[in-house]
């Protein structure tokens, strides 16, 4: 039966068909990727999290020889580094870039690259959107919050039904790689289907129809940043490990400041496509250091003493 006959379209299930993933994202606000990463690729993430230099490892460790994380609770975000442990393929994966291009257009930036580890016994996360800072469209004369005054608390709450007035577009694609299986028992991502079309944010005290995004290790949960979502509770005996690679439209601020954070020797080793993704490439003069006419920005101190003017 067709959608026209009043039957709602089925909710997303894991697929690797890009057309299906795009349709699910548009219609439901999320899609599920079936397993495309191999075991070796997933193991490299665990090495990056537990190996030397990992910010997770540098936190206090058990001194009784117990395995890393065995005594932790709650959840932790662990930043991953470009150019280390051969993990860059996660941010440049063709499915991730194809979906980011679909939602955001030809130019976009990597916004975040971090693992989200949900330890057994964590507390459930509150539903939220990943573009809570987005100014709301308004009608002239209506009260409005100035962009620099926006906090999570001042954004409008309501039901997740489609809006009947203009809403903001999505400007972020959130992509969560499943490094372990994501199951209802171990804290898989929860989402409210269709909430991306509401133009609203979830009320912390609200009760909504959620789905749990179960995907096998090596797959991914992908959502439009307007979709209401959160991680679940881990009642299993092992950590749930996800890696978030999120992408933002080129005119928005990235969550991670890659241009400042990347050591010069790592920058020099990257392809132009990767440097563009990380935010080094100018976009209509935006992102310049001191020369508006170059394609890629370079440190201002390399041009000390020279002045180059913008012409438009
Ligand atoms: O780890 C998850 O399942 C969801 C994480 C989340 O809520 C977020 O990235 O905003």
| Ligand 1 pocket check for 229: Cβ under 6 Å | yes
Residue 1's pLDDT is 42
Residue 241 lies in a domain: yes
Rounded to 10°, the helix 18-28/94-104 angle is: 40
| Atom of ligand 1 at shortest range from CA of 112 | 9
Residue 2 lies in a domain: no
Q: Report the CATH number that the domain containing residue 26 is assigned in CATH.
A: 2.60.120.620
| Atom of ligand 1 at shortest range from CA of 118 | 1
Residue 70's pLDDT is 55
Cβ pair 119, 139 in contact under 8 A: no
pLDDT: is 53 or 4 the higher one?
Answer: 53
Domain match, 245 and 171 both? yes
Domain match, 89 and 173 both? yes
Domain match, 301 and 216 both? no
Determine the distance separating the centroid of ligand 1 and the alpha carbon of 290, expressed in angstroms.
37
Find the helix or strand (DSSP H, E) in which 98 lies.
Answer: helix 94-104
* Strand pairing class (220-224; 30-33): antiparallel
Residue 7's pLDDT is 80
Residue 3 lies in a domain: no
Domain match, 46 and 157 both? yes
Residue 269 has pLDDT above 90, yes or no: yes
Cβ pair 185, 131 in contact under 8 A: no
| Ligand 1 pocket check for 81: Cβ under 6 Å | no
pLDDT tens digits, residue range 25-43? 999 999 999 999 999 999 9
| Ligand 1 pocket check for 242: Cβ under 6 Å | yes
Lowest mean pLDDT among 29-33, 133-137, 179-183, 305-309: 305-309
Residue 194's pLDDT is 98
Tokens at 34, concatenated: 């079936």
Whole-model pTM: value is: 0.92
Residue with the smallest CA separation from ligand 1 atom 1 is: 231
The domain total for the chain is 2
Domain match, 296 and 208 both? no
Tokens at 263, concatenated: 């050591």
Residue count of the chain, please give it: 312
Lowest mean pLDDT among 43-57, 152-166, 281-295: 43-57
Tokens at 201, concatenated: 């944010």
Distance (Å, rounded) from C-alpha 68 to C-alpha 305?
51
Residue 161 lies in a domain: yes
Query: What secondary structure does DSSP assign to 245-258, as a single string?
Result: EEEEETTS--SS-H
Residue 172 lies in a domain: yes
Domain match, 204 and 265 both? yes
Domain match, 63 and 179 both? yes
Residue 241's pLDDT is 96
Q: What is the mean pLDDT of the chain?
A: 91
Lowest mean pLDDT among 85-89, 135-139, 166-170, 299-303: 299-303
Domain match, 31 and 102 both? yes
Residue 291 has pLDDT above 90, yes or no: no
pLDDT tens digits, residue range 114-140? 999 999 988 889 999 999 999 999 999
| Ligand 1 pocket check for 116: Cβ under 6 Å | yes
pLDDT tens digits, residue range 34-89? 999 999 999 999 999 887 766 665 555 555 555 555 556 688 899 999 999 999 99
Residue with the smallest CA separation from ligand 1 atom 10 is: 130
Residue 3 has pLDDT above 60, yes or no: no
Residue 240's pLDDT is 95
Q: In Å, how far are 124, 193, 204, 242, 308 from 155, measured between CA atoms?
A: 22, 20, 12, 28, 41
Determine the distance separating the centroid of ligand 1 and the alpha carbon of 293, expressed in angstroms.
39
Domain match, 296 and 275 both? no
Residue 4 lies in a domain: no
Residue 310's pLDDT is 67
Residue 6 lies in a domain: no
Determine the distance separating the centroid of ligand 1 and the alpha carbon of 129, expressed in angstroms.
10
Phi/psi of residue 218, nearest 5 degrees: 100, -10
Domain match, 180 and 300 both? no
| Atom of ligand 1 at shortest range from CA of 125 | 7
Distance (Å, rounded) from C-alpha 231 to C-alpha 267?
33
Cβ pair 90, 245 in contact under 8 A: yes
| Ligand 1 pocket check for 244: Cβ under 6 Å | yes
Domain match, 245 and 295 both? no
Residue 20 lies in a domain: yes
Mean pLDDT value across residues 6-13: 87
Phi/psi of residue 174, nearest 5 degrees: -100, 130
Mean pLDDT value across residues 237-263: 96
| Atom of ligand 1 at shortest range from CA of 116 | 1
Determine the distance separating the centroid of ligand 1 and the alpha carbon of 302, expressed in angstroms.
39
Residue 46's pLDDT is 92
Distance (Å, rounded) from C-alpha 268 to C-alpha 48?
22
Domain of residue 310, residue span: 286-312
Looking up tokens 């997770």, which residue turns up? 56
């Amino acid at each position: 039966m067709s959608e026209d006959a009043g039957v709602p379209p089925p909710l997303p299930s894991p697929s690797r068909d890009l057309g299906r993933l795009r349709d699910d994202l548009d219609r439901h606000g999320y899609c599920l990727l079936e397993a495309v990463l191999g075991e070796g690729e997933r193991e490299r993430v665990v090495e990056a999290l537990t190996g030397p230099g990992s910010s997770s490892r540098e936190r206090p460790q058990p001194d009784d020889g117990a395995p890393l994380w065995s005594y932790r609770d709650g959840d932790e975000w662990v930043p991953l580094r470009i150019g280390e442990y051969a993990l860059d393929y996660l941010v440049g994966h063709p499915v991730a870039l194809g979906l980011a291009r679909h939602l955001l257009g030809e130019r976009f930036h990597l916004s975040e690259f971090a693992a989200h580890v949900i330890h057994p016994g964590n507390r459930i996360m509150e539903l939220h959107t990943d573009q809570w800072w987005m100014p709301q469209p308004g009608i002239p004369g209506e009260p409005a919050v100035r962009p620099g005054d926006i906090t999570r608390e001042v954004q409008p709450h309501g039901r997740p039904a489609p809006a009947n007035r203009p809403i903001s577009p999505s400007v972020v694609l959130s992509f969560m790689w499943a490094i372990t299986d994501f199951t209802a028992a171990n804290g898989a991502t929860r989402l409210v289907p269709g909430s991306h079309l509401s133009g609203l944010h979830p009320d912390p005290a609200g009760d909504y129809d959620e789905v749990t995004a179960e995907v096998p290790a090596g797959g991914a949960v992908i959502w439009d940043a307007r979709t209401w979502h959160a991680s679940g509770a881990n009642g299993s005996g092992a950590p749930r490990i996800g890696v978030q690679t999120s992408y933002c439209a080129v005119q928005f601020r990235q969550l991670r400041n890659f241009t400042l954070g990347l050591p010069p020797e790592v920058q020099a080793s990257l392809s132009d496509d990767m440097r563009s993704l990380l935010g080094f490439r100018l976009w209509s003069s935006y992102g310049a250091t001191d020369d508006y006419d170059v394609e890629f920005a370079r440190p201002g101190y390399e041009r000390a003493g020279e002045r180059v003017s913008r012409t438009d």
